[in-house]
Copies of this chain bind each other. A is one copy, B any other.
Amino acid sequence: MLRISKLTDYAIVVMVELGESPGAVLSAQALAERSHLELPTVSKVLKLLARHGLVRSYRGAHGGYRVTRPTAEISVAEIIGAIEGPIAMTECSVEVGLCSQEHVCGLRSNWQRISAAVARAMEEVSLAEMSRPARPSEPGLRIATLNA
């Protein structure tokens, strides 16, 4: 568990696909075919990505989408953020007052710190890196913890 949502998953796939042709304007239809996903789903994802400025949309005939930045400058965190909102492991990591137990719990500061660390990790993974398989030889991601 600790899953990203399916929509987010699709968003990454679509962004990878878009990133393959940085200059071209691709329609939602074309992207759906290339991604092996349904058009309405791809469409929904693209709207969210456009609203957050990760892709630029072109309306009308011959319209479509293209990435606004080189894939090396787009992070996985941004894509997750566009679809799901802020990366936070618990309600209370987002902001104060969201959890009714806040005054008796005391875990908030730790959850905030953990969430921030995970967010930072996702920020350091670019779309360009996602586009090519991780080599087995490559050292894995390392996440420094509370004491680091």
A residues sitting closer than 8 Å to B (CB atoms) are: 1-5, 9, 12-13, 16, 36, 76, 80, 84-91, 101, 104-110, 112-118, 120-122, 124-125, 129-130, 133-134, 136, 138-148
Q: List 30 A-B contacts (CB under 8 A).
A: A1-B5, A1-B80, A2-B4, A2-B80, A2-B118, A3-B88, A76-B114, A109-B133, A110-B130, A110-B133, A113-B140, A113-B141, A114-B121, A116-B140, A116-B141, A117-B121, A117-B141, A118-B121, A118-B141, A120-B143, A124-B144, A124-B147, A125-B145, A129-B147, A134-B146, A139-B148, A141-B144, A141-B145, A143-B143, A144-B144
Complex CA gap A148/B5 in Å reads 26
Contacting pair B121 A106 (CB below 8 A): no
Contacting pair A107 B146 (CB below 8 A): no
- A117 closest partner in B (C-beta): B141
Complex CA gap A131/B31 in Å reads 48
Contacting pair B121 A1 (CB below 8 A): no
Contacting pair B145 A144 (CB below 8 A): no
- A100 closest partner in B (C-beta): B36
* Extra pairs beyond A121-B143, A129-B146 (20, CB < 8 Å): A1-B84, A2-B4, A2-B88, A2-B89, A2-B115, A3-B89, A4-B89, A13-B107, A36-B101, A109-B136, A113-B138, A114-B121, A114-B122, A114-B125, A117-B121, A118-B141, A120-B142, A124-B147, A125-B146, A142-B144
